Structure 1
Amino acid sequence: MEKSKVYFTDMHATLKENLQQKLTRLIKTAGIGQIDFNKKFTAIKIHFGEPGNLAYLRPNYAKTIVDIVKELGGNPFLTDCNTLYVGGRKNALDHLDSAYVNGFSPFSTGCHIIIGDGLKGTDEVLVPVVGGEYVKEAKIGHAIMDADIFITLTHFKGHEAAGIGGTLKNVGMGCGSRAGKMEMHSSGKPYISHDDCIGCGQCAKNCAHNAITVTQKKATINHDKCVGCGRCIGVCPMDAVLPASDESNDILNKKIAEYSCAVLNGRPSFHISLVIDVSPFCDCHGENDVPIVPDVGMFASFDPVALDVACADAVNVQPIIPGSILDKADEKNHDHFTNLSPETNWKVAIDHAVKLNLGSNEYELITI
């Protein structure tokens, strides 16, 4: 397979070119103009950051992408799907509030925000996964699949389960509905926390397979009847329906690759990744820690797989920041992410994505 082109620029600015202008030059040099944006709805997938976390990408970077899409004639919107866990982004209203608190609004970014899987995280489309080993039909946010063009803007970082939080993670896990996220994290059978359940019966009313019963004001799921659709997770007002989280990290990574395949196949896409404020864990945390390495720069490519590999390689040659979690890690081998989370192997997602013809793990780095 021919090496994919990945374009890179560092974080140095000059009196004649600030970082937003430099990002614009990077993206245009990487060839985003090859896509026909004319009057096309363009989803820009981003992580708005969990409230309390300060490592997420500033909205200024999103505005740069929005301005380019508009210049090329497209109709952009920022998007993400609701989270599976309890927090500030578990439904569309809380999600929008969190985005606004963190600075993302039509006034700061130049476009609207649409939460991809709707109010309760149940507005999804079943998308076939060609060649899927674990997932045959991915549950993807409806608005994301409605878009004509798909762009990612990723904060590249560590991740406690996937190893790296890169473009594949942004696409695969990020675009899954709440039920889709449950499918990636577990074998598909949620359970009820009786300590939190109030017996309202909303889960039972929304179960198409009569798998849920409510007795003595507590719901119970019959796993023999449950098909793992996950709709009960979205409708529970008390967040008492929980995923099992029983899949291994390797299988999780493979499912992320398969979900990415479902999102990206069949339409134009382009990917940008910023390797800055490289936090040890996901931006889904309500906190962040000291970056593990110095800021590296900005990357762009049509190939999401090569982009992730290039970003990981760039991080792995960086010195460790003294006092960071990585600096305190027991292991000190060639891979910072393995040292950070020894139970993970980020290359599993890469290898599986290559197997699915999603991209190449070989790249040519072009510095501008």
Structure 2
Amino acid sequence: MKEINRRAFVKMTGTAAVGLALSQFSSMGKALAQAPVIGSTYVPKSESEGNGSSAKVYFTKHIDAEHLIKLYDIINEGIYGKVAIKIHTGEPHGPNILPQSMVKAFQSHVPHSALVETNTLYQGKRYTTADHRKTLETNGWTFCPVDIMDEEGDVSLPVRGGKHLQEVAMGGHLTNYDSMIVLTHFKGHAMGGFGGSLKNIAIGCASGQVGKRQVHGVMEQMPADFKQWPMQDYFMELMADSGKATVDYFGKHIVFLNVMRRMSVDCDCAGVGAAEPTIGDIGIVASTDILAVDQAAIDMVYQRTDNHDLVERIESRHGLHQLAAMRDLKMGNEKYQLISID
């Protein structure tokens, strides 16, 4: 594992972002009482300037390249230089991964950018670099460079004030980039309850055979059945520790976009075995604040009347503890404004 000195980290300000009032969006249903609402507000974009006490989360109900790019252009002030676009490229023929055409248009809009991934801890079709590259081709990720960041080993990033981890092994190529765009397919997850921006970098940037063991808490022993691995609150806190390492490394040069479409209860790691989504598509949220963007997506899910399966997956795994752990680590603002660009 190669070592790296601490970069001049830029501190993320504030604590957690929570809550949402979404009565303006009738399609979200009338389940406000179910959601973990604490007091964020919806405001039109024209009225959003000048309020620095809460994070800004921008929203569109349109899930296409045009609106994805519009959202990015609002939040991209800190993106410069060589840019990593962290997505989940999925197992072969995965039915729920982000549309390649949308990602292609987005990537071509970002100068000096490449898609980035890491190999998996589990023995699937992305376990080795050679198999991973075959899967990338199968799934159509051939329109731009795709950097498998742990192809040549690890880099150790520190975790400032982590709950359990003092450092995490990330894909060694991560430090080749000046900025990162976290482009996430928001969905359920077998262990995390949900996979948002935190999961995308906490597991997705960690190296396959070292970092992912750290994040899953299985350094000493790895039971064959993942259901016997550490779960619930401890796992959520390990993810927050790992996510904080990447967020602190990039400082102001990292942004987050959650695409809420085809939200199966299963991660894209499940490939063709993923359960068919039972909740309708919602839209895209974007922010410079990782906690705010994941909280906003969660709140939107909780407003839906067709949310039973996804909410059950989230709550049965203690998934909301991801948000509490990020709050404890001061990874985001305590409140957010939801700003529609439609």
TM-score greater than 0.5 by the shorter chain: yes
- 1:78-110 CA deviation, whole Å, 9 max, x = no partner? 01111100111111121111111111113xxxx
Q: Are the equivalent residues in 2 in contact too, given 1:151–1:270 (CA < 8 A)?
A: yes
**After the TM superposition, which residues 51-62 of structure 1 pair with which residues of structure 2 at under 5 Å, given as runs?**
51-62=92-103
| Map of 1:145 onto structure 2 | 175
Residue 286 of structure 2, aligned match among 300, 307, 319: 300
CA distance in 1, matches of 2:285, 2:314: 24
Which of 22, 26, 35 matches 2:78? Answer: 35
Q: Distance in 2 between matches of 1:316 and 1:104?
A: 32
Structure 2, unpaired ranges of 5+: 1-13, 15-52
- Cα 1:355–1:117, aligned 2, differ >3 Å: closer, same or farther? same
Give the Cα separation in 2 of the matches to 1:9 and 1:98.
31
Q: Is the 8 A contact 1:190 1:244 kept in 2?
A: no
Q: CA deviation at 1:270?
A: 0.9
Query: 4+ residue stretches of structure 1 with deviation over 4 A?
Result: 242-245
Q: Which residue of 2 aligns with 1:127?
A: 157
1:112, CA displacement in angstroms? 0.3
Alpha-carbon deviation of 1:26?
2.0
CA deviation string 1:253-292 (max 9, x = no partner): 1111111111121421011110000111110003222212
How many angstroms does 1:113 deviate by? 0.5
Residues 45-92 of structure 1: CA deviation (Å, up to 9, x unaligned): 01011114210101222223312212xxxx111011111001111111
Look up the SS of the partner of 1:274 in the other structure: strand
2:40 is aligned to none
C-alpha separation in 2, matches of 1:320 and 1:360: 29
- C-alpha change, 1:190 and 1:31, in structure 2 (3 Å) is same
Q: 1:192 to 1:24 in 2, by over 3 A?
A: closer
Give runs of aligned pairs for residues 135-284 of structure 1, distance below 5 A: 135-178=165-208, 179-190=210-221, 246-267=229-250, 268-284=253-269
Between the aligned partners of 1:263 and 1:145, the Cα distance in structure 2 is 10
- The TM-score with structure 1 as length reference comes to 0.73
* Offset at residue 342 of structure 1 (A): 4.4
Q: Name the CA shift for 1:302/1:342 in 2 (closer, same or farther; >3 Å).
A: closer
Cross-structure match for 2:70: 25
Q: 1:341: how far off?
A: 5.0
**Residues in 1 aligned to 2:91 and 2:232: alpha-carbon distance in whole angstroms:** 22
Which among 91, 96, 99 is matched to residue 128 of structure 2?
A: 91
Point out which structure has higher relative CO (alpha carbons under 8 A, 6+ apart). Answer: 2
Map of 1:355 onto structure 2? 328
**Which of 255, 272, 275 is the equivalent residue of 1:289?**
275
The TM-score normalised by the length of structure 2 is 0.78
In 2, Cα distance between the equivalents of 1:138 and 1:176? 7
Which ranges in structure 1 are unaligned for 5 or more consecutive residues?
13-18, 194-241, 328-335
Residue 79 (str. 1) matches residue 116 (str. 2): yes
CA distance in 1, matches of 2:228, 2:82: 35
User: Residue 137 of structure 2 aligns to a residue in which SS?
Assistant: helix
Aligned length: 286
- Between the aligned residues of both structures, percent identity stands at 30
SS in structure 2 at match of 1:168: helix
Alignment of 1:297-336 (within 5 A): 297-320=283-306, 326=308, 336=310
SS in 1 for 2:268: coil
